[in-house]
Structure 1
Amino acid sequence: MKKVFGTGYFLASVSKMHGGAQKVVYKIDCRDGFSCVLYVWDLAMNYFQAEKAAEDINERSYGSDLFEMNSKYLSQHGIRTPALYDLNKERNRYPFDYALVEYVDGSKAEAYFHHSDSRVKDKVLQQLGDMLAAMHANERHTYGKVNNSGGNTANAHSLKLENAKNQLSYASQYIDSFRANQSKLLDTLYMLESTIEPRNRYGFIHGELGPDHVLVNDNLEPYLIDIEGAAFFDIEHEHSFLEFRFGDYYRYLKNDSLDPNRMLFYRFHHHISLTSGGLKLLHRGFPDQQFAKELAEHHSRCAMRFIEG
């Protein structure tokens, strides 16, 4: 703290914040009232460490290098995200990377869904919709990470096809309805993928943008967090996720120029992927076992509707 902020900063308390399944997050409070956040990228604490080791470069969503790169890119393009104060990648004292990041004092976006003042709700969600539209409008002709602008010859959605196949294989070992209908689910996946026409225009997306990945400060300004997975990709991948994560409030974020075939394919992919993800959290000791169980059960039911309806 003293090295980054100066000798006048003295720790008052450090508390672990409710974090996700990949990095560990702490809130640091100083005696003078200043607060910031400590991010720790310790692969040993990542519930998906096996997957991270084998990830395709264009699918990476973990690591301090991605956080640093995406933080810079988003800030340069006027997309609010907590400021990066300092990043330590030396690993001379600790076997992991860590960063000090701005503490946004506020609530997550979902707190505004049922806000008593509709004007406040409208302001927050309309601002978020405008911010996402601006972010997605940053385009280039190849998909992938900001620093990977080389020509990717495969179609972007092919990455998600392969991922869905792997996740379906995992989930079918543990969910009876998936095991009994694995061939039908796979056939549906291929059928939906076959309807997609090639494209060479990709927008910049967050990659896993639920209302829990949006913080709103006291001025009702939204900030994007957990940005490591951001990249250039089909924006339908983002919108198909936003659609079920925001529910009725997706109307504030809606884009009328989306490809319906991509929307359907990615929606199916998300349900399969989240079923598998919930199971892995359940099997690997994630603290909130009820959440993991409900995640897997809900999305398995959603996936099954694609072959039942």
Structure 2
Amino acid sequence: MEKVLGSGYIIERVTRMHGGAQKVVYRIDCRNGFTCVLYVWDLTMNYFQEEIANGQTDDQPYGGRLFELNNTYLTRRGVRTPALYDLNQDRDRYPFDYALVQYVEGPKAEAYFQHADSRVKAALFEQLGEMLTIMHGDERASHGELSRFGLHPRACHLQQLENANVQLAYAARHMDSIGANQSKLLDKLNELEARIEPRNRYGFIHGELGPDHVLVNDKLEPYLIDIEGASFFDIEHEHSFLEFRFGEYYRYLKNDALDSDRMLFYRFHHHLSLISGGLKLLHRGFPDQRFARELAGAHARSALQFIGQ
């Protein structure tokens, strides 16, 4: 803190903040009234370290490099995300990256679902829609993370097809309803993928943009957080996620030029992935076990609806 901000920034209190599955987050309060956030990408505290160690992720979203690249990219385009004060990737004193980041005072966007004033809700979600229009409208002819842009040889939806196969296999081992219908679910996945036509235009997406990944300050300005997984990709991947995460408020975020076949494929992929994700959090000691159990259960029901179960 002293090295980055100066000798007047004396730490008074450090508080662990909850919610992250791939990094540890702390709030730092200083005696002079300043508050910031410390991000720590410690692989030993990552709930998906097994997948990372086995090479099941395309990059290293738990590290600081992608955070820095995506932070710079978004900020330059006027898309709000907490400011980066300092990033340390030396790994000389500690075996992990860490960063000091702006603290955004305010709730997550999901809190505004229950807001009494419809004008306030409209103002917030319209701003978020404008930010997404900027991101998704910045197109490239190749897909991939900013650190490996254009280096992925396969179509991006085929990466998700492979991932869905892996996640379905995990879920089938640990949830009876999925295990009993694994072959039907796999057939449906392949059927939806077969409808997709080739494409060579990709927008910049967050990758996991739920209302819990949007902070809102006292000026009603939304900030995107957990941006490490952002990349150029099919924007339908994002919109199919936004659709069920934002519910009725998706109307402020929707895009009328989306590919319906891709939307359906990615929607199904999300359900399969989140069944597995919820189960892994449940099995690996995630603090909110009720959330993990409900996540897996809700998406299992949604996936089974695709095959009429």
TM-score w.r.t. length of structure 2: 0.97
Kindly indicate whether the alpha-carbon contact (under 8 Å) linking 1:272 and 1:303 is maintained by their aligned counterparts in 2: yes
In structure 2, C-alpha distance between the alignment counterparts of 1:28 and 1:57, rounded to whole Å: 31
Per the alignment, residue 27 of structure 1 pairs with 27
Contact 2:41 2:97 in 1 (8 A): yes
- Mapping of residues 55-66 of structure 1, within 5 Å: 55=55, 58=58, 60-66=60-66
Question: 1:57, CA displacement in angstroms?
Answer: 6.5
Moved more, 145-154 or 44-53: 145-154
Find the aligned partners of 2:297 and 2:193 in 1 and give their Cα distance: 24
Contact persistence 1:58–1:144 (CA under 8 A): no
Matched, 1:45 2:35: no
- 1:279 is paired with a residue whose SS is helix
Of residues 188-197 and 15-24 in structure 1, the stretch that sits farther from structure 2 once superposed is 15-24
CA deviations 1:197-253 (Å, max 9, x no partner) are 010000000000000000011111100000000000000000000000001111110
Residue in 2 that maps onto 1:231 = 231
Equivalent position SS for 2:14: strand
**Matching residue of 1:308:** 308
Partner of 2:267: 267
Aligned residues, how many? 309
Identity in percent: 68
Aligned to 2:126: 126
Kept in 1, the 8 Å contact 2:66–2:146? The answer is no
Structure 2, unmatched stretches of 5+, are: none
Following superposition, the deviation at residue 52 of structure 1 comes to 1.4
Residue of structure 1 in register with 2:13 after alignment:
13
The alpha carbon displacement at 1:153 in A equals: 3.1
Counterpart of 1:249, as a letter, is Y
Cα 1:196/1:60, change in 2 over 3 Å:
farther
Q: Distance in 2 between matches of 1:150 and 1:24?
A: 30
**1:37 alignment partner, SS class:** strand
How far apart, CA to CA, are the structure 2 residues paired with 1:56 and 1:75? 29
User: What's the counterpart of residue 255 of structure 1?
Assistant: 255
1:303 deviation in Å? 0.3
Rate the CA distance shift 1:73–1:57 in 2: closer, same or farther, 3 A. Answer: farther
Alignment map for 1:176-255 (pairs within 5 Å):
176-255=176-255
User: What is the CA distance between 1:166 and its match in structure 2?
Assistant: 0.3
The answer to whether 1:106 aligns with 2:106 is yes
Residues 115, 121 of structure 2: 8 Å contact kept: yes
Offset at 1:175?
Answer: 1.0
CA contact (8 A) 2:87 2:100 kept: yes
* Letter of the structure 2 residue corresponding to residue 268 of structure 1: F
Please give the secondary structure, in 2, of the residue aligned with 1:207.
coil
Give the deviation of 1:73 after TM superposition: 0.8
Q: Deviations over 1:43-93 (max 9, x none)?
A: 000010011123466454321111011111111111110000001111222
Structure 1 stretch 231-240 or stretch 152-161: which is displaced more?
A: 152-161
Q: Decide whether the 8 Å contact of 2:43 with 2:62 is kept in 1.
A: no
Q: Which residue of 2 aligns with 1:140?
A: 140
Q: Distance in 1 between matches of 2:277 and 2:56?
A: 17
The whole-number CA distance in structure 2 between the counterparts of 1:55 and 1:246 is 31
State the distance in 2 between where 1:62 and 1:91 align: 14
The SS at the match of 2:307 is helix
CA distance in 2 between counterparts of 1:23 and 1:94 reads: 15
- For the aligned residue pairs, the C-alpha RMSD in angstroms reads 1.2
3-state SS of paired residue (2:208) = coil
Give the letter for the 1:247 counterpart.
Answer: G
Amino acid at match of 2:180: A
SS at match of 1:25: strand
C-alpha contact 1:241 1:270 (8 A) present in aligned 2:
yes
**Partner letter of residue 203 of structure 1?**
G
1:151 and 1:17 map into 2 onto residues whose CA distance is 35
| Alignment CA distance shift 1:57-1:175 (3 Å) | closer
Is the deviation greater in 97-106 or in 116-125? 116-125
